[in-house]
Chain A
Amino acid sequence: MNSGVQNIVNGQGIMITISGMLIVFAALAITSFFIYLLPVFLRIFASILPAEETSHHIPAFYSTPEDEALAAIGFALHSEACGSMVGKESF
């Protein structure tokens, strides 16, 4: 292993450091600028592509009020059948 300033010069250490930091800063500055502009773009596009009302997470079989009521009745019956066990788990 050689040592010294000559190694830094031979390995172009200073140039790599300066250009490396510039590239990292450029990439993240562009990312930062993009993030800054994103809400503005989205507001413009909101009129063209309005947000969907429904969510992917809501299963279709709970989508109507009747089904929700049935689910609630089912849960109540299940709780009663399980007795105190359900109570202990919940609290």
Chain B
Amino acid sequence: MEILFEFLKTTGFAMMTWGNALMIIVGIFFVSLAIIKDYEPLLLLPIGFGAIVGNIPSIDSMALNVYQEGSVLSFLYLGVSKGIYPPLIFLGIGAMTDFSAMLSNPKLVLLGAAAQIGIFLTLIGALYLGFSPSESGAIGIIGGADGPTAIFLSSKLAPHLLGSIAIAAYSYMALVPVIQPPIMRLLTTKKERLIRMKEPRHVSQREKIIFPIAVFLISALIAPGSIVLIGMLCLGNLLKESCVTERLANTARNAMIDTVTIILGFSVGASAQAQTFLTAQSLLVFALGALSFSIATAGGVVFAKCMNLFLRDKINPLIGAAGVSAVPDSARVVQMVGQKEDPHNFLLMHAMAPNVAGVLGSAIAAGILWSVFVK
């Protein structure tokens, strides 16, 4: 009988705190959003389920959760805490990205730079709220709307905030269709939203092959901190565009990225334990993340409007919002908002240019912050 009572003390029911229960509900909410609303299911489903798993309480001596040395989950989490998964994800993204839209209209690349203002202004906001400079840099990167980049940088600059930054980054990426449209409508007139853009020009295969090598050299020489992320992105793209490594490109953009996404999402979710996650600091990270994301969206749209002052062929300022690099969701949102005004206006291809430029921009920004704050 005593053994039974001892066993009952070790059950999850006996050790459950209100925080764990709340986080399990949050996990179920994420899973529901993924299944019912189809919001970034590839990310939210593993993250949500990971949050459920990570919040089942257990006795310390059993070494079950991600923070306990020797547990299976801690080994999976190593790829997050050591920054291994993000470059692998970038390899896959590179192998599935077609840079043609960007190559056909190079001026749109600048929109990907403008949207990075969200990162740096949020850094100031985080400093103002009392976060240390390296913590502020890690929080600011949420505005890049790039989950792997956010994880990579926070694992280097503020490992103790990694869980909340990763959850915030992926949550806001999933909420792109909710966050961006009101900002886009607020900052543009109906006339601007109706602007139709010229058809993109044909891009030769040689241009596509030369581009990843050149862009890597430019980015890496200017911001060496971006070598890992941009390097893997460009390698993936070269595998795709070279046409001689189709098998490798296929593996990178299918099996490999899927495997890493599952493990990354699950282990990030499992790291969101109530004891480490439900803190005032995490709430501030979430608030700053939302601010960062909104500023980034606004930055891209406003910069597109500024560009229009000097351009003969006007660009639709809505595509500026795609500079936040949540590929391809923000480009899809641009298409959706544009088509609400004019069902025959196809902005998707145009929006893909700032979208992929945003990936480069946020990786360069992460490289800069890493170089500045590295100890």
Q: Sample 21 A-B pairs with CB under 8 A, ordered by A number.
A: A7-B127, A8-B124, A13-B123, A14-B124, A16-B137, A20-B119, A20-B369, A23-B222, A24-B116, A24-B364, A24-B368, A28-B113, A29-B110, A31-B106, A31-B109, A31-B218, A32-B110, A34-B218, A39-B204, A39-B207, A55-B243
The interface of chain B, by Cβ under 8 A from chain A, is: 102-103, 106-107, 109-110, 112-114, 116-117, 119-121, 123-124, 127-133, 136-137, 204, 206-207, 210-211, 214-215, 218-219, 222-223, 243-244, 357, 360-361, 364-365, 368-369, 372
Q: How far is the CA of A36 from the CA of B214 in the complex (A)?
A: 13
Provide the main secondary structure of the chain B interface: helix
Shortest distance from the beta carbon of A34 to any chain B beta carbon, whole Å? 6
Contact with B along A2-32 (1 / 0, CB 8 A): 1111011001111011011101111111111
Partner of A17, one of B112, B120, B244: B120
Interface of chain A: mostly helix, strand, loop or mixed: helix
Interface status of A38 (Cβ within 8 A of chain B):
yes
A-B residue pair count with CB separations less than 8 angstroms: 125
Q: Does A56 contact B (CB under 8 A)?
A: yes
Q: How far is the CA of A36 from the CA of B108 in the complex (A)?
A: 11
Asked if A2 and B124 sit within 8 Å, CB to CB, the answer is no
The answer to the question of A42 belonging to the interface, with a C-beta cut-off of 8 Å to chain B, is yes
Chain B residues near A88 (CB-CB < 8 A): none
Pairwise interchain contact A28-B109, C-beta atoms closer than 8 A: yes
CB distance from A57 to the nearest CB of B (A): 7
Alpha-carbon distance A12/B127, docked complex (angstroms) = 9
Within the complex, what minimum Cβ distance (angstroms) separates B56 from chain A?
A: 31
List, in ascending order, chain B residues with CB within 8 A of A2's CB: 130
A25 to B119, CA, bound (A): 13
A35 to B105, CA, bound (A): 8
Task: Tell me, in angstroms, the Cα distance from A87 to B362 when the chains sit together.
Answer: 50
Extra contacts, 16 of them, besides A13-B124, A17-B123, A25-B113 (Cβ < 8 A), are: A3-B128, A8-B128, A11-B127, A11-B132, A13-B133, A16-B372, A17-B120, A20-B123, A20-B368, A23-B368, A24-B368, A25-B114, A27-B218, A32-B106, A34-B218, A42-B206
